[in-house]
Amino acid sequence: MDHADNSDLEAMDIAVEPTDAVAYELARLRHSCAHLMAEAVQDLFPDAKFGIGPAIEHGFYYDFDLPRPLAPDDLEAIESSMRSNQARREPFSRQVVSRDEALRIFAENPYKVELIRDLPADEIITTYRQGEFLDLCRGPHVDTTGDIGPFKLLSIAGAYWRGDEKRPMLQRIYGTAWRSQDELDAHLERLQEAQRRDHRRLGRELDLFSVSEEIGPGLILWHPKGAMVRYLVEQFEQQEQLARGYDLVNTPHIASEKIYQISGHLETFRENMYAPMSIEEVDYYLKPMNCPGHIMIYKSRVHSYRDLPIRFAELGTVYRYERSGTLHGMLRVRGFTQDDAHIFCTVDQVVDEVRSVIDFAIHMAGVFGYEFQAYLATRPTKAIGSDEVWERATTDLIRAMQERGWSYKIDEGEGTFYGPKIDIKWVDALGREWTGPTIQVDFNLPERFDVNYIAEDGERHRVAMIHRTLLGSMERFVGGLIEHYAGAFPVWLAPVQAVIIPITDGQIEAAEDVKRQLERAGLRVEVDTSRDRMQAKIRNAQLQKVPYMLVIGKREEVARAVAVRPRSGPDLGAMSIDDFLAIVQPRIASHSLTLSDLDGTEA
């Protein structure tokens, strides 16, 4: 049984209320389907106890406390019962009840009792009934079970009650529901394609990375091929940063509690930090962020206004606690390397610097073949600094986006504790959004750390600080790339760019000579010297998603040529090594997403 992401477990079993009419209709339909599923579970397991069952993006789930573990066959039985109840067109009936009445109704269910007791004193408490199933719920629902539409149960996962590892582990059933069969079929096809692109499966098949229980969950082991992809991404980004006026720095993996007391991390971020280690009676923490170190580098000497802006960039490894149930391959981890940068500038330079980072982000999206969507993340509940400071920082971010002609969506309360931010989400080949660049304007940490510069008037003035990531976590970014490209990296990123395939042992020497020529030209090349037949060798290279297969038979050996077979598109035929290099080298240099003039973007 998989473990579910428990981040949304604090909500009651209520439908979301989006402003978009279609989204609202789907949310209401899916929430109703969650109740239909719970009714079917009750039919099959009369002693079941129920947690919560909300609508979520693309579907719904419900958490159950059951007398035995569910098996995949159980989903078929539950679906069958759901269809029977759907055919009866059972009406959804709403009733307002008092708190005492609600506690009496659900007295045998400790999960509902806990939810009821946690409700605000002035909360209007309602129940919904369809058939023999009665649930604590705010609603709303469709009129009858017959109005729910086509649905499909998808998977079973484990989920701690309210996301707390110290609480009971419940069984969560995920499902999806749509307005029409065509919409459902299209969604199921997208899910199949997402499974085909799953970075965890491809990571194993392509030998890119692994996770070891002995090392610890959420800690990635980069294998040689995966490490090569990461190296190429990092090398490219570092070169781009240097060309844009960034200075590279490095900071330690641990720091004393003093720095995190000043920064406010211990006050607002402690639950995401690991327990301290005591060194000479001083508590040290694994760093959760790189910004305090960059601030101390800036403060190591006095800066004039003529020095600003100063841009420090670091591929810094940080450590943040994530519950085991939320870990997910490379995408949700406990230790990760982040492409952090911090820009120290005057208040008047903020908008120009944010605009420059936006341009940098657009460039990076294009290189890796992503579309993108911008979000403005506003002040969270836990925050430091005055309303005035937050308003000024938010205004600067909005102004920079407006000057770039950007439209954006609001992510209410999703800013960091020290400042608002722009979140730029990559949109991948399946239309899914991935966390990408973030740009944060911060007037709070400069105040807390007393970070200044000498202005033209000879007086000390407070700097403004911009926190910036472009790709974010290298682990998450590479994991996302694997899925975006379905493991078929463009040639400049491919860990092995070409496999040379001798048809018989008689061509091995010629293959090794070609390998030496290509390596001198800077390519990453292997020779398949296995005893497999040629077609099997080609198939193996295709399964490993190598961009080019270079076949050498007797004819090619005599002509000192190779028969070029790209992994996608038509074969390019026999050609000299120089002619092959004339195709591949410009594509590497330009970071092209295609392998020849005859194929299209593969992602």
Looking at the annotation, which residues are catalytic? 291, 320, 338, 340, 342, 421, 467
Token code pair at residue 599: 């194929």
Exposure on the CB side of residue 594, measured as CA atoms within 13 A: 9
DSSP 5: P
Phi/psi of residue 288, each to 5°? -90, -20
- How many residues can be counted in the chain? 603
Q: Which residues have C-beta within 8 Å of that of residue 334, sequence separation ≥ 6?
A: 216, 217, 218, 219, 319, 320, 321, 322, 327
Burial of 226 (0-12, 13-18, 19+ CB in 10 A): buried
Both tokens of 19, joined, read 């402003």
DSSP states along 233-283 = HHHHHHHHHHHTT-EE----SEEEHHHHHHHTHHHHTGGGSPPPEEETTEE
Kindly report the number of other CB atoms within 10 A of residue 277's CB atom: 11
Q: Which residues contact 286 (CB under 8 A, 6 or more apart)?
A: 253, 254, 273, 274, 318, 319
Cα separation, 586 vs 520, in Å, equals 16
Question: Which residue stretches of 369-412 are H helix?
Answer: 387-403
150: buried, middle or exposed (CB in 10 Å: 19+, 13-18, 0-12)?
middle
